Structure 1
Amino acid sequence: MYDFLERIVKPSLIVHIPTENSYEFIQKLTPQLRFVIRRMFIAIYIVVKFCDEVLEFKGQHDWNIEKFSTLHIMASEIIKQLPTGRQVFENIRKDNGLYVDKTDYIYKMLSGLRTQFFLSRPRRFGKTLLCYTLKSIFEGKRELFKGLAISKTKWKWEKYPVIRLDMSAGAYSEGISGCQSSICEQLKYNAEDLSVKLSGESLTDKFKSLIVNSAKKHGKPAVVIIDEYDTPLLSVLENKEEFEKVRNFLRDFYKTVKASEENLRFTFITGITKFAHVSVFSALNNLTDITLDPEYAALLGITQNELERDFVDYINKWAKDYDGKKKYIEKLKDSYDGYRFTENLQTVYNPFCLLKHFDSGKFEKFWFETATPGYLINLLDSKKIDILNITNFSVGINDFKKYDSDNMDAVPVLYQSGYLTVKDYVKDIGKFVLGYPNKEVESAFANELAVRYLKVPGSEKSSFYINVLEWLYAGEIEKVMADGFVPFMASIPYSITIAKEKYYQTIFHIIFNMFGFQCRSEVEIATGRIDSIMETPKFVYCFEFKLKGTAAAALKQIDSREYLTPWKGKGKKLYKIGVSFDQKKRKIKEWKIRAVCNR
């Protein structure tokens, strides 16, 4: 048996796949062929390991599994483990974790004359992994990048002293004291790691000395990487007094970067937001902001090509549970793709959501597990943002810069936080059209709005959600109204209801979007404006609301203006629903439902 295996996997028989080029060979194959070959090699690998270790054949011949370097490399490339929750590039690579190669973008950034950069992206988008990747590059750890794009470039792999400040962790809710304490500890840690001493009284002076002394000690200019620079500010955004203290301190602290250019090889700063004008970034106006740069549209996030190339094993693993590969990829795209950060048409998936999904095969609201910031909901409330039109914001490039506590605008906050993304760009006038990136964000955000605006207890909302979801899928719209919305709206505190038609329309809009369905409100068509239209896989529901009129009048309006014409002949059953409200009692007064002939 062992002689047979030797003949099967003997290096001479697979020499046409050279050892040193095995990775490149694998990457040139189609995902489908790569999947088949991987399965074949892992089967051989397991059998040979079994003979060597379990049957104790090792040493009985003049070879063992380690001599099959090509086989060993190919086996190591077979099942890349998902690095869910892991952010340290060096550890991921050493542990054979799956890494989506972004080093071509990184090399482009490193090889030019510009040396100081800023990048804003939403949370859970891989900013920390990018920072650790840069750290490994500047520490000259060439072996970690074998097979990656940067390994094929002219990068010199020189070793530089790297100063990395992780601003994401600290007692920042305590205000200026927590902020300074956290930064002080990080400066000490970096000084010990680089074997240099800190000098000066203030933290700004200590930071300056860390940069200068590191450059002198190691004979190379230092590299400064600051991850999530804005966390101390966002943590006290609703505490005006502490915010001002933290902002003033950070402005002076970050000035050190600008004043230390002669001792710096490279600077990279990440964050969710960009506090502008007289705020923190007035001290960092030398940074090159690549946030909206089309060249770096896919620096973070997973493109469609990367998904189908690097996650092929996991796609094949779960596709059978979702009616095949094509439908499965479509569902992935609807749920987690859609983030677009520049005028470039390139969209990307949220990497955190993809990893969490591939771990379990379940479609859940993973991004929202870390909670929606309270300041964001408060801002929407204070700015009187129209929830119904939240997916149709048109902004200019300068609107993205209006992010400061003195004059906070909800639009750039929603965009930079990841709740809205670029849906279209009109080049001639420089206009960006913003909307929800995908169903996960739209549904989860609607859930947050329901808690804030409707004040309904969680247990009650959960029961309502489960029942109405089932009825909508089954086309039982009568139950949706009678057993769902009527008692649900009656549970909303009287004190927060508003005797306006748009208030009730907003409730329906929020609730339907909680379910992850395609619900649109105030939809303009040739014959008029539909109050709300909602689609499920098999049904289309058209709602018209009346505060002073009747349900019959609402149905008549749907008919006379032919609201459902665009949906006819598309294979779904159509329903029109007229709803009227009791202005005094602030609840649903009556409703009428009619099925529509779909021809």
Structure 2
Amino acid sequence: MAEMNPGQIQECEQKLPLPIGVSNYSLAASEYYYIDKTMMIKDFIDERPMVTLFTRPRRFGKTLNMDMLRTYFERSDKDTSVYFRDKKIWSCGQKYRDYQGRYPVIFLTFKDVKFDTWEETFAALRDIFAKEAQRHKELQSSEKCDGYSRKVYERLVNGSATEVELSSALLDLSAMLHSHYDVAPVIIIDEYDTPIQQGHSEDYYDKIIRFMRNLFSGGFKDNSHLSFGFLTGILRVAKESIFSGMNNLSINSVLDNKYSAYFGFTADEVREMAAYYGAADKYDEICQWYDGYLFGKTEIFNPWSVVSYFSNKCEPRPFWVSTGSNDVIGEVLAVADNEIYDRLTSLVNGETFTTFIDTDVIYPQIKSNPSTIYSFLLMTGYLKVLNTSLSFNGDFLCEVALPNREISLVYNKEILQRMENMIPQATAISIQEAAFSGDHKRLKSQLQMMLTQSVSFFDTVGENFYHGFMLGLCALMSGTFVTSNRESGDDRYDIQLKPIRKGLPGILIELKAGKNCSDEELKNMSEAALKQITDKKYDTEMKNAGIQTIYKYGVAFSGKNVEVAVE
């Protein structure tokens, strides 16, 4: 029998499965492809802040990292050191190993607390505390805890605690654990602000804020029964005094350098992962789609999307779009003025701008100050920072842009698609049918109707508006990838609709805009736009992809008038 060469042997080796949706550290570290983030433990031990808050966008590894901390610090009947012996933290020395398995831990995650009413939310929180209390069933009969404490524990574990009792549950549980083990516990709360965002959306914000303020005051502020604590969330809801008086709080946002490499994947980690799965040649494509975030000074890739990309046989998609709600963004857009809308549209065109970023932004500011949209977009992962400086009032002055191609597509789908409220479904379908059949007369007629019925004169001020208007329409079209202002051929096209399935046509749209144009001038502008598509070879990318039929549209606007040329 012929021997296999090393390459064939490697090809036959079973690759570790991808950790899609795996937030259990011991499982991820032992049975899946795991990118080692355990040096985060060393950095924490070296600094030892009393309470640490990490704010990052959704799906950037917050829950997995918190479970890693729980697994490392928590006392257990099992030998949990086995999950760290082959990790970087174990080679750091005995000083750091001495922390392993040393503390009782209170671990709570609020990531699924998304209910319509305060009553349902309170019931969910009470259930979460009941399950965590049950996990510490040794307290039920502990002789080191007095009778009153055991009664409090009983009410927690059977789910009968009142709102007042539940708001002191962190303090009560930590005191009992401290008494039982003679070691103060570690408290970990993952996605603490999920119920706060839901409270804002469903109009019980004041009630959830009051509860959280009391809960955190007892658990973290001057709690003598606390060794140290960790919290994660998307926003730091500091202005509501949730963390009032907590001078022991260390905050790490997307703008801070500390811990910047531990949430998301670094460039080296992605290269190594691509090589492991035999896709080293796909690194540039991964960069275009999922790179571009800057946490502190560290370049970061979206981890959810990178893992999903490999799972999808290296076919790029906007995987991140379906992982959470964008209701807050929709609310901001509902009250956005023309300047904000124009700026948001410019981002899709590849432009940047400089704006104030408030890392303490809170949900009620959306209506009272719509300009906070930029802070929300940055904190939630829809913007990246290019340059940062401090302003005179302590806020950050940041140059911002869209991070990558995925976010550009997400932007089209989740932000510009909000135009669906002003576009009747029948009209959207008619526009799509006209565009995909090359019927420029019907396309012109439908666009003309849209402009006449839905757009006020003061909105029609320049090409940026029309670009956003057309992107919004294109975002409603199914079966295509919508991209904007990307290089193809000798220049950058305005809008490209690349078909997802074979057999569908591709579409290129070049836009022109003028003021007070005559019908003849408008026609000439549309023909010039069409000629530009051909002259600049904007169809190069789709031709290289093997797309046989490509419709090219030159579209010219002036006020509420439109002209369309087609080839």
Say yes or no: TM over 0.5.
yes
Of the candidates 456, 477, 492, which is equivalent to residue 498 of structure 1? 456
Q: Which structure 2 residues correspond to residues 297-336 of structure 1 after superposition, within 5 A?
A: 297-314=260-277, 316=278, 319=279, 325-326=280-281, 328-336=282-290
The equivalences for 1:170-249 within 5 A come to 170=113, 172-175=115-118, 177-194=119-136, 195-197=138-140, 200=152, 202-240=165-203, 242-249=204-211
SS in 2 for 1:163: strand
Alignment counterpart, residue 484 of structure 2, candidates 519, 523, 526:
519
Question: Aligned to 1:549, which of 504, 509, 517?
Answer: 517
Q: How many residues align?
A: 491
Of 457-466 and 434-443, deviating more is 457-466
Give the drift of 1:261: 3.9
Contact 1:184 1:203 in 2 (8 A): yes
Per the normalisation by structure 2, the TM-score is: 0.75
SS in 1 for 2:484: strand
Matched residue type, 2:184: P
Q: Pick the aligned partner of 2:311 from 359, 362, 381.
A: 359
Q: Is the 8 A contact 2:447 2:562 kept in 1?
A: no
Q: Is the 8 A contact 1:208 1:260 kept in 2?
A: no
- Aligned AA for 1:395? T
Contact persistence 1:447–1:511 (CA under 8 A): no
Question: Equivalent residue of 1:381, what SS?
Answer: helix
Q: Secondary structure at the match of 2:399?
A: strand
- In the alignment, structure 1 residue 373 sits paired with structure 2 residue 326: yes
Out of 538, 563, 567, the residue aligned to residue 590 of structure 1 is 563
Distance 1:426 1:255 in 2: 33
Instruction: Sort the Cα spacing of 1:274 and 1:402 in 2 relative to 1 into closer, same or farther, 3 A.
Output: same
Amino acid at match of 1:506: G
What one-letter code is carried by the residue in structure 2 that aligns with 1:298? A
How far did 1:221 drift?
Answer: 1.5
Q: 1:491 to 1:540 in 2, by over 3 A?
A: closer
Q: Distance in 1 between matches of 2:206 and 2:407?
A: 31
* Contact kept in structure 2, 1:103 and 1:148, CA below 8 Å: yes
Which amino acid in 2 is paired with 1:281? F
Alignment of 1:283-302 (within 5 A): 284-291=246-253, 292-302=255-265
Taking a change above 3 Å as real, the CA distance of residues 281 and 110 of structure 1, as seen in their structure-2 partners, is same
One-letter amino acid matched to 1:122: P
1:119 aligns with 2:58: no
Does the aligned pair in 1 maintain the 2:522–2:558 contact within 8 Å?
no
Unaligned 5+ segments in structure 2 are: 141-148, 153-163, 499-505, 542-551
Shift of 1:536: 8.6
After TM superposition, the structure 1 stretch with the greater mean CA deviation from structure 2, 443-452 or 428-437, is: 428-437
Distance change >3 Å, CA 463–CA 351, structure 1 → 2: farther
Q: 1:401 aligns with which of 341, 348, 360?
A: 360
Q: Given the alignment of the two structures, is residue 159 of structure 1 paired with residue 102 of structure 2, yes or no?
A: yes
Q: 492-501 or 378-387, which moves further after superposition?
A: 492-501
- Name the CA distance, whole Å, in 2 between partners of 1:38 and 1:135: 40
Q: Could you tell me how far apart the structure 2 residues matched to 1:564 and 1:579 are?
A: 13
Kept in 2: contact 1:509–1:532 (CA 8 A): no
Amino acid corresponding to residue 287 of structure 1 in structure 2: L
The answer to whether the aligner puts 1:250 opposite 2:223 as a matched pair is no
Match of 1:526 in 2: none
8 Å CA contact 2:428, 2:473 repeated in 1:
no
- Aligned residues of 1:513 and 1:519 also touching (Cα < 8 A): no
Q: Determine the C-alpha separation between the residues in 2 that align with 1:92 and 1:569.
A: 47
Map of 1:60-209 to 2, 5 A cutoff? Answer: 79-94=15-30, 96-139=31-74, 141-154=80-93, 155=96, 156=98, 157-170=100-113, 172-175=115-118, 177-194=119-136, 195-197=138-140, 200=152, 202-209=165-172
Contact 1:276 1:404 in 2 (8 A): no
CA distance in 2, matches of 1:490, 1:213: 70
- 2:106 is paired with a residue whose SS is strand
CA distance in 2: counterparts of 1:230 and 1:462, whole angstroms = 39
CA distance in 2, matches of 1:553, 1:576: 17
Residue type at the aligned position of 1:394: T
Aligned with residue 420 of structure 1, among 383, 387, 398: 383
Q: Contact 1:83 / 1:355 at 8 angstroms: preserved in 2?
A: yes
Measure, in 2, the Cα distance between the counterparts of 1:146 and 1:466: 60
Mark the CA change 1:461 to 1:568 in structure 2 (over 3 Å): closer, same or farther: closer
- Structure 1 stretch 206-215 or stretch 222-231: which is displaced more? 206-215
Structure 1, residues 501-544: CA drift from partner, whole Å, max 9, x if none?
245443124346786565359xxxxxxxx999447999986522
Paired residues of 2:525 and 2:556 also in contact (CA < 8 A): no
Structure-1 separation of matches of 2:446 and 2:16: 47
SS in 2 for 1:172: coil
Which SS does the other structure have where 1:238 is aligned?
Answer: helix
Determine which of 563, 572, 579 is the counterpart of 2:556. 579
SS of the aligned residue for 1:395 comes to strand
| Separation in structure 1 between the aligned mates of residue 259 and residue 514 of structure 2, nearest angstrom | 48
Contact 2:417 2:475 in 1 (8 A): no
Alpha-carbon distance in 1 for matches of 2:433, 2:375 = 34
CA 1:555 to 1:218, structure 2 compared with 1: closer, same or farther past 3 Å? farther
Q: Which amino acid aligns with 2:116?
A: S
The 8 Å contact of residues 89 and 129 in structure 1, kept in 2 or not, is answered as: yes
- Check whether the contact 1:168–1:227 (CA below 8 A) recurs between aligned residues: yes
What is aligned with 1:448?
414
Contact 2:171 2:223 in 1 (8 A): no
Q: Match for residue 341 of structure 1?
A: 295
**Any idea what SS the aligned residue of 1:211 has?**
helix
Secondary structure of the equivalent of 1:434? Answer: strand
Q: SS of the residue aligned with 1:340? A: strand
Matches for 1:458-497 after TM superposition, within 5 Å: 479=438, 481-482=440-441, 485-486=443-444, 489=447, 492=450, 495-497=453-455
Q: Which amino acid aligns with 1:215?
A: H
Q: Structure 1 residue 253: deviation in Å?
A: 0.9
* Per-residue deviation, residues 10-60 of structure 1 (Å, max 9, x unmatched): xxxxxxxxxxxxxxxxxxxxxxxxxx95863685xxxxxxxxxxxxxxxxx
* 1:368 Cα deviation after fit: 1.1
Listed one character per residue, the Cα deviations across residues 145-187 of structure 1 (whole Å, up to 9, x for unaligned) are: 1221101113112421010111112353222x23322222222
Instruction: Please give the secondary structure, in 2, of the residue aligned with 1:401.
Output: coil
**Aligned partners of 2:483 and 2:196: how far apart in 1?**
35
Aligned-pair identity in percent equals: 19
Q: Which structure exhibits the higher relative contact order, with contacts defined as CA atoms closer than 8 Å and separated by 6 or more residues?
A: 2
What is the aligned partner in structure 1 of residue 401 from structure 2?
435
Tell me the CA shift for residue 307 of structure 1: 0.9
